């Protein structure tokens, strides 16, 4: 086959085209050869030089090159002098071809792709390229720094990271990534893309951030911080997989004399499980279950070393065991129905309904709560436990006794698949269908109404029911029970909306009288809603200097 005017084209050779030859002519001809046969294909340049394209591989070949080049059977070769610069991308299948590609500074995207057993080595150096590895049966030892490193497939236990400054993204279903004691990695993202993934990260050196981004598949992820000198800045769990059975089980081992600064669950499904094992003389500074995480199935802490503080901002079941002296647990107001069970001394601060079970080994524990009825304490230790409430009152719970009312068990609600959720992004609130707002003005400091120091309270009866009806009338597949509505008005805090709700905003001295508007933001969400929808009602009214209200209604634009 002669090719003189085929620059920029592709030649596909499929099975049956074995023993084909290609001859190129013209000083600017460049073609891409796809060899899907079982034998080498010979490509002759205009000067007679031969480039062999191996079976099941591809290459761009120029008819004329200004520098000498060598062929490599079984690997993809891109000439670096093509005016269209195809040399910026290289696919290699052997270690020899890899070394050639690493030496070419024009390469900006380098892919290692083979199903054969190979030992790939990358020497020290700063390579201005993105590295992609798709080699399910190969070993890779890396001492080089790349723009990014993406591991799509690797032999089960054979990635050895020895470089400083890399960003690794691990998509492989099965992988073990080992960070050498002299390595320093910026970020490792563990994001398995297939079901039943099993990924292990072993850290003997330093890693700034480990992110478990489990967006599509169930996964078992293990992070093993191996010992003295090993450290991880933050381990962050972002388990967003949908489906009742799809969730991550994340295990973090912190070996003796190792250190982790922060362990954070940022986004999670109700099946997410986090197990944290902290060996003697090792330290974890903070464990954070963030508000945005959603309900987390369980967090278990086995602490022989030190965990400084556990902050819980979302409903979670927490179990604490080990030989540590004490663990502080802060349950915030957004983490209602959290359950804490401990066999070590704990200092629990509860700002929301919390069930606390203290087993033998938790002697000396204490509980502080904003409200006395926020906590249920089951004291199974051999000593009394003190509960201190917002008034400073102390309630003693004797050994073998309980205090408060336990949270009733509720059946698990399975996650709704995304395909079955309802998209309400087009919803627009019709304020004309809402009850008329009732507006009242009261003095904040006593006495008659004056220009300074007045508060305005707006009440709209049945607004939750009205909003839910508008949503369910417009979108099929939803009932009022499927919806949750929150509101925020003025400088007030967000709160769940019931059938009748009052909104307050306080105006300063220069704003107390005259025509006013008050924006009330509503957020509509629910397990069957694809994404939460925010809408706004703007209430208008006029306040006289005597403190009377007139012209109460809704702004016409809303």
301-331, pLDDT tens digit by residue? 999 999 999 999 888 899 999 999 999 999 9
pLDDT at 506: 61
* pLDDT for the residue 122: 96
pLDDT, position 73: 37
Q: Decide if pLDDT at 75 tops 80.
A: no
Which residues are within 8 A (CB) of 45 and not within 5 positions of it... i.e. 6 or more apart?
A: 24, 51, 61, 62, 63, 64, 65
Q: Give the C-alpha separation, 531 to 450, whole Å.
A: 45
Give the model's pLDDT for residue 154. 92
Instruction: Kindly report which listed range (199-203, 370-374, 453-457) carries the lowest average pLDDT score.
Output: 453-457
What CA–CA distance (Å, rounded) separates 215 from 136? 22
Please indicate whether residue 449 or residue 267 has the higher confidence score (pLDDT).
267
Q: Comparing C-alpha atoms, which of 79, 83, 48 is closest to residue 61?
A: 79
Average pLDDT of the residues in 371-375 = 84
536, 420, 432, 428: which is closest to 478 by C-alpha?
420
Question: What's the pLDDT score for residue 242?
Answer: 47
Q: Which residue has the higher pLDDT, 103 or 42?
A: 103
Q: Please tell me the predicted confidence (pLDDT) of residue 52.
A: 75
Q: Which of 127-131, 525-529, 539-543: highest mean pLDDT? A: 127-131
The pLDDT, as a whole number, for residue 85 is 37
Rounded CA-CA distance 143/163 in Å is 4
CB atoms within 10 A of CB 233: 17
**Measured distance CA(281)–CA(304) in Å, rounded:** 8
The average pLDDT across 443-456 equals: 53
Res 420: pLDDT: 87
Cα(221)–Cα(232) distance, integer angstroms: 16
Q: Which of 55-69, 259-273, 441-455 has the lowest mean pLDDT?
A: 441-455
For the chain, the average pLDDT equals 82
- pLDDT classification of 449: cutoffs 50, 70, 90: very low
Residues with Cβ within 8 Å of 446's Cβ and at least 6 positions away in sequence, in order, are: none
**Do the beta carbons of residue 517 and residue 538 sit within 8 Å?**
yes
- pLDDT the model gives residue 371: 82
Coil, strand, or helix at residue 293? helix
Alpha-carbon dihedral 262, 263, 268, 269, rounded to 10 degrees: -160
pLDDT band at 505 (very low <50, low <70, confident <90, very high): low
| Residue in 80, 86, 69, 75 with CA at minimum distance from that of residue 112 | 75
| H or E segment to which residue 462 belongs | none
Burial of 38: CB neighbours in 10 Å, binned 0-12, 13-18, 19+: exposed
Specify the residue for token string 């009261």.
Answer: 442
pLDDT band (50, 70, 90) for residue 411: low
Report d(CA 426, CA 61) in Å as an integer. Answer: 53
Residue 498 to residue 335: CA distance in whole angstroms: 20
Q: What is the pLDDT of residues 135-190, one digit of tens each?
A: 999 999 999 999 999 999 999 878 999 999 999 999 998 899 999 999 999 999 99
18-22, 282-286, 415-419: range with highest mean pLDDT: 282-286
Percent of the chain with pLDDT over 90: 43
Give me the sheet containing 2-3, strands edge to edge: 2-3, 21-24, 41-44, 50-53
Residue 294 is predicted with a pLDDT of 64
Q: How many whole angstroms separate alpha carbon 7 and alpha carbon 25? A: 10
**In whole angstroms, what is the distance from residue 397 CA to residue 391 CA?**
18
**CA within 13 Å, CB half, 111:** 17
> Cα–Cα distance between 117 and 96 in angstroms, integer?
14
């Amino acid at each position: 086959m002669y090719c003189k005017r085929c620059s920029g084209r592709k030649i596909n050779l499929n099975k049956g085209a074995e023993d084909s030859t290609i001859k190129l002519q013209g000083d600017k001809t460049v073609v891409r050869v796809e060899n899907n046969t079982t034998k080498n294909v010979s490509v002759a340049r205009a000067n007679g030089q031969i480039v062999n394209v191996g079976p099941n591989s591809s290459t761009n070949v120029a008819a004329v090159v200004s520098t000498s080049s060598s062929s490599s059977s079984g690997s993809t070769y891109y000439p670096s002098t093509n005016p269209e610069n195809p040399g910026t991308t290289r696919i290699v299948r052997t270690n020899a071809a890899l070394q050639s590609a690493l030496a070419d500074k024009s390469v900006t995207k380098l892919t290692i792709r083979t199903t054969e057993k190979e030992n790939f080595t990358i020497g020290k150096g700063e390579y201005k390229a993105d590295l992609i590895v798709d080699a399910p049966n190969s070993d890779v030892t890396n001492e080089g720094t790349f723009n990014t490193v993406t591991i799509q497939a690797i032999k089960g236990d054979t990635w050895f990271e020895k470089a400083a400054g890399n960003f690794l993204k691990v998509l492989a279903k099965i992988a073990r990534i080992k960070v050498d004691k002299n390595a320093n990695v910026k970020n490792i993202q563990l994001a398995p893309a297939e079901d039943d993934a099993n990924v292990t990260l072993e850290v003997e050196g330093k890693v700034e951030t480990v992110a478990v981004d489990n967006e599509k598949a169930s996964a078992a992820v293990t992070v093993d911080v191996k010992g003295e000198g090993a450290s991880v800045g933050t381990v962050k769990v972002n388990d967003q997989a949908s489906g009742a059975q799809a969730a991550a089980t994340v295990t973090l081992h912190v070996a003796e004399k190792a250190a982790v600064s922060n362990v954070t669950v940022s986004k999670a499904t109700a099946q997410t499980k986090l197990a944290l094992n902290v060996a003697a003389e090792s330290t974890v500074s903070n464990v954070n279950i963030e508000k945005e995480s959603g309900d987390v199935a369980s967090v278990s802490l086995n602490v022989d070393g030190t965990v400084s503080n556990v902050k819980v901002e979302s409903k979670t079941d927490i179990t604490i065991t080990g030989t540590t002296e004490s663990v502080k647990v802060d349950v915030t107001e957004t983490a209602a129905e959290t359950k804490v069970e401990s066999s070590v001394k704990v200092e629990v601060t509860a700002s929301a309904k919390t069930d606390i079970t203290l087993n033998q080994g938790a002697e000396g524990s204490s509980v502080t709560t904003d409200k006395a009825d926020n906590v249920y304490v089951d004291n199974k230790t051999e000593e009394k436990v003190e509960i201190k409430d917002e008034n400073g009152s102390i309630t003693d719970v004797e050994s073998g006794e309980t205090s408060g009312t336990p949270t009733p068990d509720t059946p698990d609600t399975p996650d709704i698949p995304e395909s079955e959720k309802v998209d309400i992004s087009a919803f627009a609130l019709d304020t004309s269908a809402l009850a008329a707002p009732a507006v009242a003005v009261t003095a904040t400091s006593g006495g008659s109404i004056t220009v300074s120091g007045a508060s305005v309270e707006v009440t709209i009866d049945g607004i939750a029911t009205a909003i839910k009806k508008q949503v369910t009338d417009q979108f099929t597949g939803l009932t009022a029970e499927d919806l949750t509505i929150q509101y925020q008005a003025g400088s007030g805090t967000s709160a769940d909306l019931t059938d009748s709700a009052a909104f307050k905003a306080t105006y300063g001295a220069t704003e107390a009288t005259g025509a006013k508007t008050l924006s009330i933001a509503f957020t509509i969400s629910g397990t069957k809603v694809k994404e939460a929808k925010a809408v706004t009602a703007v209430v208008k009214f006029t306040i006289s200097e005597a403190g009377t209200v007139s012209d109460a209604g809704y702004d016409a634009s809303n």
